[in-house]
C-alpha cells in the first residue's frame, strides 16, 4: 500500500487502537455513561449498553507488568493473565481505573483465580460460563447468568433495564456487524486493499463503541476502501502470501507476530480471534420473544477453546477459508494457554487434511526474545509457497 494513502480511521490515533479507545471511553464517562470492565468476548455487550454503560476491555497484552505480577502469580501462567493482573497490582491500567464495575467469566482457571485476587477493588460480578455449548442445559444456564448480570447492573447503577432496551441494542449490534462485514469483504479481495493494522484498530474500537458512534466511521471506511479498489491501491504485493491468523487473543506486544508476517512478505487477511473478527461474525436473533435467550444463544456460539467439543471452531474456519482464500494458516498460542495449545493439534490436522494448506503453530508470550526464531519459521513457511501456485490456486 502506498505510504501516502489516507488511513481508514484518520482521527490522530491511526494505528493506536488502545489510545483511541481510552480517549473514547473517557469522553463517554464525561458524558454521563458508566464504564464496565470486561475480560472476555462472552460478556454480553448489548446488556451493558442497555444499562447506559460502555464496556472497557481489561485484558492486557504488555510485557512490562509481568514481573510485578509474578510476585503473586506463578511464572508458568498465561501472559495475558499476568499482564492484566500486573497492571492492576501496579495501579497503571487506565481502563481498570475508569471502570466502575467489572464482569468476569469462568473461561479458564487462571482468570477465575485472578478474579478472586481483585474482587475487593471494584464491584465484581462473575458469570458461570457453561462449557458444553451444544446442550440445551447450557443455553438455559447461560440465559440465567445473563439475567443475573442484568440484576447486578441494575443494582450497581440504580437503573432499570427493560427488555425493549436490550432489543434495541441487539438491533444496533446487528447493524454494526453488517457494516463490519462489508469491510471484511474488502480484506477478502485479491489483492487486498486493507491492512491487518486497520482491521485490528476497527475491531478493537468496535467493542467499546456504540453503533451510533461507529456508523460514520464505518461508512467512511467503506467509501475509502471503494476508492482504493477503484484506484488499484492494495496492501502488500499482488502475489503476497495470504495469511489467516487464528488462536489466542492477540494485541499489544503480541502483535509482533503480525509484524513479522508482514515483514516477511505476507499479508494478513483474517484475524480469527476474539480480539479480531470473531465477535462480528454473526448476527443476533431479533425475532425471539426473550431477548436474553437470544443473547445467550449468540454468545454460546463463540468457538473459544474453553468449549468442548469445540467443533464450531472448525466449521467457522472452513467458512473463513472459503471467504478469504488464505494460502497458509498461522495458529498463535500463548504460553500456558493449555486449551488452545491442545486444540492446536486438531486445527493442524483439519487444515492440512481437509484444505491441503500449510500450517504453522507459534507458541509465544509478550517478550521480544523469540522474534528471530519466529521470523525464521515464518520465512520458511512462505518459502513453501511458489508465487505462481499461490495465484493460480484461487484464480482458476
What string of DSSP letters covers 122-142?
A: S-EEEE---S-TTSHHHHHHH
Q: What is the pLDDT of residue 17?
A: 83
Distance in angstroms (rounded) separating the CA atoms of residues 110 and 73: 9
Please indicate, yes or no, if residue 170 is contained in any of the structural domains. Answer: no
Please indicate, yes or no, if residue 109 is contained in any of the structural domains. Answer: yes
Q: What is the pLDDT of residue 355?
A: 97
Average pLDDT on 114-129 reads: 97
Whether the predicted pLDDT of 393 surpasses 80:
no
Q: What is the pLDDT of residue 16?
A: 81
Which residues form the domain of 28?
17-164
- Count of CB atoms situated within 10 Å of the CB of 317: 21
Please indicate, yes or no, if residue 219 is contained in any of the structural domains. Answer: no
Q: What is the pLDDT of residue 226?
A: 97
Please indicate, yes or no, if residue 67 is contained in any of the structural domains. Answer: yes
The total domain count for the chain is 1
Please indicate, yes or no, if residue 65 is contained in any of the structural domains. Answer: yes
- Count of CB atoms situated within 10 Å of the CB of 123: 15
Average pLDDT on 88-99 reads: 97
Please indicate, yes or no, if residue 362 is contained in any of the structural domains. Answer: no
Whether the predicted pLDDT of 387 surpasses 60:
no
Size (the chain), residues: 396
Please indicate, yes or no, if residue 68 is contained in any of the structural domains. Answer: yes
The residue among 13 and 302 whose pLDDT is bigger is: 302
Residue 112 host element (H or E): helix 109-118
Cis peptide preceding 309, ω within 30 of 0: yes
Distance in angstroms (rounded) separating the CA atoms of residues 269 and 271: 7
CATH number where 143 lies: 3.40.50.11890
Q: Which residues 6+ apart lie within 8 Å of 204 measured at CB?
A: 17, 18, 21, 57, 251, 275
Average pLDDT on 104-127 reads: 97
pLDDT digits (tens, 9 = 90+) for 242-286: 999 999 999 999 999 999 999 999 999 999 999 999 999 999 999
Q: What is the pLDDT of residue 161?
A: 98
Please indicate, yes or no, if residue 283 is contained in any of the structural domains. Answer: no
pLDDT digits (tens, 9 = 90+) for 292-342: 999 999 999 999 999 999 999 999 999 999 999 999 999 999 999 999 999
Q: Which residues pair with 245 in a beta bridge?
A: 271, 330
Whether the predicted pLDDT of 396 surpasses 50:
no
The chain-wide mean pLDDT, for the chain, equals 94
Q: Which residues 6+ apart lie within 8 Å of 277 measured at CB?
A: 180, 184, 199, 203, 270, 271
pTM of the model: 0.94
Nearest to 186 by CA among 164, 202, 165, 175: 202
3-state SS assignment for residue 371: helix
Whether the predicted pLDDT of 70 surpasses 60:
yes
Nearest to 293 by CA among 139, 174, 149, 166: 139
Q: What is the pLDDT of residue 9?
A: 75
Q: What is the pLDDT of residue 7?
A: 79
Write the secondary structure of 328-354 as one string of H (helix), E (strand) and C (coil): EEEEEEECCCHHHHHHHHHHHHHHHHH
Average pLDDT on 32-50 reads: 97
Whether the predicted pLDDT of 388 surpasses 50:
no
Q: Which region, left, alpha or beta, applies to residue 265 given φ > 0 means left and ψ of -120 to 50 means alpha? A: left
Amino acid at each position: 500500500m502506498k505510504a501516502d494513502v489516507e488511513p481508514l480511521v484518520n482521527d490522530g490515533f491511526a494505528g493506536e487502537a488502545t489510545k483511541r479507545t481510552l480517549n473514547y471511553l473517557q469522553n463517554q464517562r464525561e458524558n454521563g455513561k458508566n464504564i464496565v470492565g470486561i475480560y472476555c468476548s462472552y460478556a454480553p455487550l448489548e446488556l451493558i449498553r442497555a444499562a447506559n454503560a460502555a464496556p472497557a476491555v481489561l485484558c492486557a497484552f504488555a510485557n512490562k507488568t509481568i514481573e510485578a505480577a509474578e510476585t503473586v502469580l506463578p511464572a508458568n501462567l498465561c501472559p495475558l493473565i499476568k499482564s492484566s493482573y500486573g497492571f492492576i497490582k501496579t495501579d497503571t491500567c487506565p481502563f481498570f481505573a475508569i471502570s466502575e464495575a467489572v464482569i468476569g467469566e469462568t473461561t479458564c482457571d487462571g482468570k477465575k483465580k485472578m478474579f478472586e485476587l481483585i474482587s475487593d477493588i471494584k464491584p465484581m460480578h462473575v458469570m458461570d460460563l457453561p462449557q458444553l455449548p451444544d446442550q440445551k442445559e447450557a443455553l438455559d444456564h447461560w440465559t440465567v447468568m445473563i439475567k443475573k448480570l442484568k440484576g447486578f447492573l441494575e443494582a450497581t447503577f440504580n437503573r432499570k433495564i427493560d427488555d425493549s432496551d436490550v432489543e434495541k441494542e441487539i438491533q444496533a449490534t446487528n447493524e454494526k456487524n453488517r457494516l463490519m462485514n462489508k469491510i471484511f469483504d474488502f480484506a477478502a479481495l485479491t489483492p487486498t486493499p486493507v491492512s491487518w493494522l486497520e482491521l485490528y484498530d476497527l475491531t478493537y474500537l468496535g467493542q467499546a463503541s456504540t453503533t451510533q458512534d461507529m456508523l460514520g466511521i464505518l461508512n467512511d471506511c467503506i467509501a475509502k476502501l471503494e476508492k482504493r479498489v477503484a484506484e488499484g491501491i492494495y496492501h502488500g504485493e499482488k502475489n503476497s502470501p495470504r495469511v489467516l491468523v487464528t488462536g489466542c487473543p492477540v494485541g499489544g506486544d503480541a502483535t509482533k507476530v503480525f509484524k513479522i508476517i508482514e515483514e516477511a512478505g505476507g499479508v494478513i487477511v483474517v484475524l480469527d480471534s476474539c480480539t479480531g473478527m470473531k465477535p462480528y461474525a454473526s448476527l443476533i436473533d431479533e425475532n425471539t420473544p426473550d431477548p436474553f435467550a437470544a443473547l445467550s444463544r449468540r454468545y454460546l456460539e463463540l468457538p473459544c477453546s474453553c468449549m468442548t467439543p469445540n467443533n464450531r471452531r472448525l466449521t467457522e474456519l472452513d467458512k473463513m477459508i472459503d471467504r478469504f482464500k488464505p494460502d497458509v494458516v498461522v495458529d498463535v498460542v500463548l504460553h500456558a494457554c493449555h486449551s488452545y495449545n491442545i486444540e492446536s493439534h486438531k486445527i493442524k490436522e483439519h487444515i492440512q487434511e481437509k484444505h491441503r494448506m500449510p500450517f504453522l503453530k507459534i507458541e509465544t508470550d509478550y517478550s521480544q526474545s523469540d522474534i528471530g526464531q519466529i521470523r525464521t519459521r515464518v520465512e520458511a513457511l512462505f518459502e513453501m509457497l511458489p508465487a505462481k501456485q499461490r495465484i493460480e490456486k484461487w484464480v482458476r
